[in-house]
Amino acid sequence: MRIGVIGTGVAGSLLTAAVLKDDPKADIVAFDRIASGAREDAGTGLNIGPNALKAMRLHGGLALEDLLAVSLPWKRWEIVLTNGTRLIDLDMTEIGGEPGVRVRWADLYAVMRAQSAPATIFDRALETVEEEADGRLTPVFRGADGALHRHGSFDLLVAADGRYSRLREAVSGRPEPRFPGIGTWRLLVKTGPDCPIDDYVQYFCGNARLLAFTLPEGFAYIAGSFPLEGKGPIPDETRTAAAQAAFFLPADGAPSREVAWMLDQLDRGIDDVNWARTQEIDTLHQTMDGRVLLIGDAAHAMFQTLGQGATQAIEDALAAADVLRSKPASSKAASDAYEARRSARVDFAKTFTREATDTLLPGCDPVAGSLAKAEEPFLSKLRALYLDVA
């Protein structure tokens, strides 16, 4: 079976490397729009759940030590009001059996792509997919030179090109997004001795939330979520430090030292902020009669709570690699086996992350919702998310 992987982010690079580790002669090639050797700094920082580390260890530990070397442990999950009132403080080791990690996107990409680079053709942006007479699929790419490129036909194409997957759009149409009414921003800042931030903490003011944690090499990740109805671009009047501060300043007193520091960093770095709206899309594991398999954000977008975006991409990639290493008889057999293995787990993770994001949604009491996260049944679901890794 000839396999083409579109996109070498977390899912695509790990899948490619995992297949080749077991069978160096496997007929698999990956494609990415970035240039060879490029370091992609977009995405600022992220947290990865303990379940990703367990999955990596259970599947041979590929890239695990390199990931741990460029990250910090995610040991605690705290929720605090922006006036400093502490609501919950959860021990990640007690819940998940081990800490998660905090890492820069750029470092995560570098670790993962180092594994798959020998099997990757770079400078290839997918334009379309052609169906051959024998049913195989030929991806057509636009190179950095502006020319179109074909690299042969494939029995199976894997969409690993992220939330705005060009492969998914080309073969199945663009998924219709749903907007739950949450605007977001992200910022990576260089810290100094005055930084009051350490491990993962969320700070609520009504349904608006700040989130922050430190990263290796003296960086901190700061993110904001705020109520925002409608769709389309975030209004210009909302993209200011003053407008954002109004969401997070408590009405009944001064902000905590941590919140004041984050808002000051936002004011200083407002031109570097990445803005977005939270979106939901329908899950799609396979299409084109099993000739296209979708993994990671191309298949399912996770909500921004519990660190499950990259985490589920890692679980997906390793499960897909396990299926492909078993030498399935056809692309349809491979896609069916993968979907049977991952469907229930993905549905659970997707549903639970949305449930855990309730405190950002209009109409939810953020205090009651936060306190419930330190009690049953939430804790049992959280343990299942972090521990029940196949």
Q: Where are the domains of the chain?
A: 3-177+280-387
Which residues does 95 contact at the CB level (< 8 Å), separation at least 6?
379, 382, 383, 386
CATH of 3-177+280-387, one of 3.20.20.450, 3.40.309.10, 3.50.50.60, 3.40.50.970: 3.50.50.60
- Per-residue model confidence (pLDDT) at position 376: 98
Q: What is the largest CA-CA distance in the chain?
A: 70
End-to-end CA distance of the chain: 25
* Cα torsion through 29, 344, 302, 111, rounded to 10: -40
pLDDT at 65: 98
User: How many residues appear in the chain?
Assistant: 390
Report yes or no: 56 and 318 within 8 Å, Cβ to Cβ. yes
d(CA 200, CA 305): 11
Residue 41: the pLDDT is 54
- Each of the 390 residues of the chain gets a pLDDT tens digit; together they read 999 999 999 999 999 999 999 999 999 999 999 997 766 555 689 999 999 999 999 999 999 999 999 999 999 999 999 999 999 999 999 999 999 999 999 999 999 999 999 999 999 999 999 999 999 999 999 999 999 999 999 999 999 999 999 999 999 999 999 999 999 999 999 999 999 999 999 999 999 999 999 999 999 999 999 999 999 999 999 999 999 999 999 998 899 999 999 999 999 999 999 999 999 999 999 999 999 999 999 999 899 889 999 999 999 999 999 999 999 999 999 999 999 999 999 999 999 999 999 999 988 999 999 999 999 999 999 999 999 998
- Is there a contact between 22 and 324 (Cβ–Cβ < 8 Å)? no
Helix (H) or strand (E) holding 264: helix 257-268
Q: Report the pLDDT value the prediction gives residue 98, as an integer from 0 to 100.
A: 97
pLDDT of residue 372: 98
Query: What DSSP character marks residue 8?
Result: -
Q: Looking at residue 253, what is its pLDDT?
A: 85
CB atoms within 10 A of CB 84: 15
Q: List the one residue out of 156, 180, 207 whose CA is nearest residue 320.
A: 156
Handedness of CA 122, 127, 128, 134 (dihedral sign): negative
Q: Compute the radius of gyration of the chain from its Cα atoms.
A: 21
* 156, 331 Cβ separation under 8 angstroms: yes
Question: Which CA distances in Å does 330 have to 62, 86, 155, 340, 368?
Answer: 26, 54, 8, 15, 50
Is residue 197 within 8 A of residue 44, CB to CB? The reply is: no
Collapsing DSSP to helix, strand or coil, 367 comes out as helix
Q: Mapping DSSP to helix (H, G, I), strand (E, B) and coil, where does residue 204 land?
A: strand
- Per-residue burial over 119-148, b = 16 or more CB atoms within 10 Å of its CB, e = otherwise: bbbbbbebeebeeeeeebbbbebbeeeeee
Q: Check residue 28 and give its pLDDT.
A: 98
* Predicted local confidence at residue 43, as pLDDT: 61
- Give, in degrees to the nearest 5, the angle at Cα 42 between 113 and 201: 105
Query: What pLDDT score does 42 carry?
Result: 55
Exposure of 120 in the CB half-sphere (CA atoms within 13 A): 28
- Nearest-5° angle of CA 166, CA 179, CA 313? 50
